[in-house]
Structure 1
Amino acid sequence: MHLADSTSSPAQVQSHVQSQVQSHVQFDRSRLTIEDIVAIAHRKAQAKLSNDAGFRAAITRGADFLDRLLREDGTIYGVTTGYGDSCTVNIPADLVDELPHHLYTYHGCGLGQYLTTEQTRAVLAARLASLSKGFSGVSIELLEQIAGLLDADLLPLIPAEGSVGASGDLTPLSYLAAVLCGEREVLRDGVSISAAQALQEAGMQPLRLRPKEGLAIMNGTAVMTALACLAYDRAAYLSQLTTRITAMASITLDGNAHHFDETLFSVKPHAGMQNIAAWLRQDLPAGAAERNGKRLQDRYSIRCAPHVIGVLADALPFFRTSIENELNSANDNPIIDAENERVLHGGHFYGGHIAFAMDGMKNAVANLADLMDRQMALMVDSRYNHGLPANLSGMQGPRAAINHGLKALQISASAWTAEALKLTMPASVFSRSTECHNQDKVSMGTIAARDCLRVLELTEQVAAALLITVRQGVWLRQQTNPELTLSPAITHMMQALETQIAPIQEDRRLDPELRELLVSMRQQTWTLYA
């Protein structure tokens, strides 16, 4: 982690932003983490460009080397040539300075919803990380301008759709390039205003891009990588929350804790799965496994929960490695090796690793939705919930006949699950040949990342429904069994949920509570497992 205490005093124009920031992430040539990007995205940390003289000299060497090549009439892709399939077109010397501005101009064709503020901050941080490696031939002024946008919280309005993930996230990143130059629009304090006005009022000057800087900003994997960092953070938390929900579902169903026995799991050595089982052992009531009258084997959605959640838990370290390697890469083309005075043409803008990670993650996350949906189906069905009311309705007496408990909530959870499962088709297999067959094999990494975030959103909605269900279910189980002993962790979780969800007796709308639970979930309010 590069998080450190911030001691700098904020400029007056930026005080409303920086007053919320407790730390900073330093950008230099050292390795960043997913947590660094997530902290910047959520305004828990400020991006700070290193003042180290050696770092700044390394950045400057790349820009100076390109300037010297130009003076010596060197041919440089994207500097003295057209882009992509147009690389055979030579650019007249008097037009070289205009070329980067044409690049972001003609890529201004994105559509769809705009990236959220958190996603946009993550994108800016991810692009700053790549350019700070010093292999893109950009000036220190460009890096300072990106850091300045983050500092002032001036966020380019970036349409989410239009990238095939190689040659990088060209179209969405064109909106960053344009804003750096005072064009297009930014979001400031939740209001869209012109970039020119926003820069002026923040005391920032629009850039005039140097010869390769348009390409350097746009020709990389910053959008998909930023979204992947945010997806990883949410998926890791969701794996813990699904485990806690499973424990509470087991209590609701009067389940058999023997299914999570330590010796049992020692013979199947998937470390993530074993950890999920250990968490469940922590959560289940003391002595739950020893009580008489248990089913010999609970249904799969309870008994096999560690095996389902464990797939994601075991995949998370691989996902982290892929995402952080991409985050810490110079994902640009061409690569400028100023030290050896070489221009290296390649394909580091290709987002295949992120595409694979996101396609895999959305599959594992959607399986959590399916698991919870099946658990809910058991809990609301009086044929399977071991003595609890149908639909877990808490109403008793004559009015019980007209109250329907969680009947509709189970339908909604099933709908969200079905939509999540539908989106698990891997995006990476849908490569399309584009741009005159120059980009004839592309990653679709950004589409995969967007799909993954949507699957996460839907699965979080299922989790919100399950939190209402298990809170109701444990409460009802306590009514039927006053001797029921809950572990400290489950007791604490019940107390937290009781502040947000009253017992459901008389029918009521549940969407306000669902939305409140989603906010708590995405802010990771509940401390789950160490």
Structure 2
Amino acid sequence: MTNKSGSTFQDAPRTGTVTFGEDRLAIADITRLARREARPVLADDDAFTGRIARGAAFLDKLLDVDGVIYGVTTGYGDSCTVAVPVSLAYELPHHLYTYHGCGYGEVFGDTETRAILAARLTSLSQGYSGVSAGLLEQLTALLEHDILPRIPQEGSVGASGDLTPLSYVAAVLCGEREARVDGQPLPAAEALARFGLVPLKLRPKEGLAIMNGTAVMTGLACLAWERAEYLARLATRITALAVAASDGNPQHFDETLFAAKPHPGQQGVAGWLRADLGDNKAGRNDHRLQDRYSLRCAPHVIGVLADALPFLKNVIENELNSANDNPLVDPDGERVLHGGHFYGGHIAFAMDSLKNLVANVADLLDRQMALLVDARYNHGLPANLSGATGPRASINHGLKALQISASAWTAEALKNTMPASVFSRSTECHNQDKVSMGTIATRDCLRVLQLTEQVAAAMLVTVRQGLALRQATLEGAMPLQPGADAFVTELADDIAFINEDVALEPTLRRLVDGIQHQQWKLYE
């Protein structure tokens, strides 16, 4: 059954909770909320609730004595020298999200929007933003009831935070603009009312606290990291099957060989390949001394991604668990601290790096496919892996067009690896004169992931076809270990052997959907 997003996968039941409070959250917490696999709750311990209350009370105290607070009793950005009377301080947040309502482009999907909401709630729950408990409760309610602000993707330079896209979150909290409920667009006030919620009246600084931060890029980075981690495993399994389909040499992944180059991620990938292909110390195909690089050096390509993932995870989770608006409020020392924590440089670096690593995997799989469909290099398989025989072979073309498409997707992925972070633009009357471009880097990364998942889907069709053709040869296919063998059986159930030319788009869409929902359990 197809759900509202076009996926054939049903939403998993929500089991367990993710608690927003003083404890550190992980990427997995955000992605579970984004997929509606967990429920959001606010911590109810005295330490957390007291800290939130003290921050809001301190701002009230400053307003009572007519204190000067950026974004509370001053204008924003370059307008920080413009004094705002205390009598107008409660109107200022409304103006902030109103004039930032100039986003454009495609709208973020449901999963992406939930990740953004969860990332913002995580930051505000650090207790340095001076927001009220009511704001945290309203944000939690959006996640709980799946009231999803309509957020255009374009318009953020990543400092002073994701101002324009997050203005759409602020507006929906206040009953303005538009939200989605059950996939249907509704006026925000109507969406809130459906669940017994009333529009929020923002307190001074709360508009700034919602908008002036890195929640869009960070929430999306959590999704990107998880997809990349799964892709590393899937690309390894595909590589093992490509070696088997091409009758390659598994000795390239020997344990002693990889002990000589001690990158742990690279060694791990080689270990997964041995788990699929066996040790094969003196077995089949040792006469073929060296396979081509896309097979022989696969651990060296996928392994760079595998080695980078732990570092990137730490970077993303540090940003996730940060207070990243401005100014910050120290509720215990009763100080207002002006700084630049809205700057998304760490996420920009992480996403510029990750998209490069992922695109290299696309290139690797594309080269493997090129070998498998070419009768000059696939060691005895038919051209384009066509399954047609006899007179009908002349009119069938196998995977010829699929290889062209995979090459096109790979080229686009490689093109999108241009780093966004080096394209800083001076904005907002040169107040924001050096910006991170983190949100653009993250959007680029998600696009590269999508394209690479499409290449992986094409390779799943290719290795399924190639292994079936190899099995029909006189020598048959090399034996696979149980995990890989079960995977091939599952592929054969899902991908029909291609005797006659067939339009593969429905199959590809189903496979990409399976990849993005992590349909196959790999290397447990």
* CA–CA distance in structure 2, aligned partners of residues 261 and 18 of structure 1: 41
Runs of 4+ that moved beyond 6 A: none
- How far did residue 65 of structure 1 move? 0.2
Can you list the C-alpha shifts for 1:454-479, whole angstroms capped at 9, x where unaligned? Answer: 00000000000000000111111111
- How far did residue 53 of structure 1 move? 2.4
Structure-2 residue corresponding to 1:519? 513
* Correspondent of 1:508 among 496, 502, 512: 502
Unaligned runs of 5+ in 2: 1-9
Structure-1 residue corresponding to 2:7? none
* CA–CA distance in structure 2, aligned partners of residues 408 and 18 of structure 1: 34
Evaluate the alpha carbon distance shift between residue 500 and residue 434 of structure 1 in structure 2; reply closer, same or farther with a 3 A threshold.
same
TM-score, length-normalised on structure 2?
A: 0.97
Structure-2 residue corresponding to 1:429? 422
Structure-2 residue corresponding to 1:201? 194
- How far did residue 292 of structure 1 move? 4.6
* Correspondent of 2:408 among 415, 430, 437: 415
* CA–CA distance in structure 1, aligned partners of residues 360 and 140 of structure 2: 38
* Correspondent of 1:239 among 232, 237, 242: 232
Structure-2 residue corresponding to 1:400? 393
* Correspondent of 2:180 among 159, 174, 187: 187
Kept in 1, the 8 Å contact 2:369–2:459? The answer is: yes
Q: Partner of 1:430: helix, strand, or coil?
A: coil
Can you list the C-alpha shifts for 1:260-304, whole angstroms capped at 9, x where unaligned? Answer: 010100011100000000000111156485225632100000000
Report 1:84-95 matches (<5 A): 84-95=77-88
- How far did residue 414 of structure 1 move? 0.2
Structure-2 residue corresponding to 1:492? 486
Structure-1 residue corresponding to 2:121? 128
Structure-1 residue corresponding to 2:431? 438
* Correspondent of 1:385 among 365, 378, 381: 378
Which amino acid in the other structure matches residue 416 of structure 1?
Answer: W
- How far did residue 54 of structure 1 move? 2.1
- How far did residue 20 of structure 1 move? 3.0
- How far did residue 397 of structure 1 move? 1.1
Which amino acid in the other structure matches residue 491 of structure 1?
Answer: D
* CA–CA distance in structure 2, aligned partners of residues 286 and 502 of structure 1: 31
Identity percentage over the alignment? Answer: 67
Can you list the C-alpha shifts for 1:60-111, whole angstroms capped at 9, x where unaligned? Answer: 1000000000101110000000000100000022211100000000000000
Structure-2 residue corresponding to 1:76? 69
Q: Is residue 2:213 matched to residue 1:214?
A: no
Unaligned runs of 5+ in 1: 1-16
* CA–CA distance in structure 2, aligned partners of residues 293 and 322 of structure 1: 43
Kept in 1, the 8 Å contact 2:235–2:365? The answer is: yes
Kept in 2, the 8 Å contact 1:81–1:91? The answer is: yes
* CA–CA distance in structure 2, aligned partners of residues 18 and 237 of structure 1: 19
**Cα-Cα RMSD:** 1.3
- How far did residue 486 of structure 1 move? 2.0
Which amino acid in the other structure matches residue 504 of structure 1?
Answer: I
* CA–CA distance in structure 1, aligned partners of residues 104 and 281 of structure 2: 54
* CA–CA distance in structure 1, aligned partners of residues 280 and 334 of structure 2: 70
* CA–CA distance in structure 1, aligned partners of residues 336 and 370 of structure 2: 60
* CA–CA distance in structure 2, aligned partners of residues 362 and 106 of structure 1: 33
Evaluate the alpha carbon distance shift between residue 84 and residue 244 of structure 1 in structure 2; reply closer, same or farther with a 3 A threshold.
same
Can you list the C-alpha shifts for 1:359-389, whole angstroms capped at 9, x where unaligned? Answer: 0000000000000000000000000000000
Q: Partner of 1:427: helix, strand, or coil?
A: coil
Aligned residues: 514
* CA–CA distance in structure 2, aligned partners of residues 340 and 35 of structure 1: 33
* CA–CA distance in structure 2, aligned partners of residues 140 and 435 of structure 1: 32
Report 1:58-77 matches (<5 A): 58-77=51-70
* CA–CA distance in structure 2, aligned partners of residues 442 and 106 of structure 1: 20
Kept in 2, the 8 Å contact 1:355–1:443? The answer is: yes
Q: Is residue 2:147 matched to residue 1:147?
A: no
TM-score, length-normalised on structure 1?
A: 0.96
Q: Partner of 1:499: helix, strand, or coil?
A: helix
Which amino acid in the other structure matches residue 496 of structure 1?
Answer: E
* Correspondent of 2:466 among 465, 473, 479: 473
Q: Partner of 1:193: helix, strand, or coil?
A: strand
* Correspondent of 1:249 among 224, 228, 242: 242
Structure-2 residue corresponding to 1:11? none
Q: Is residue 2:64 matched to residue 1:106?
A: no
Which amino acid in the other structure matches residue 499 of structure 1?
Answer: D
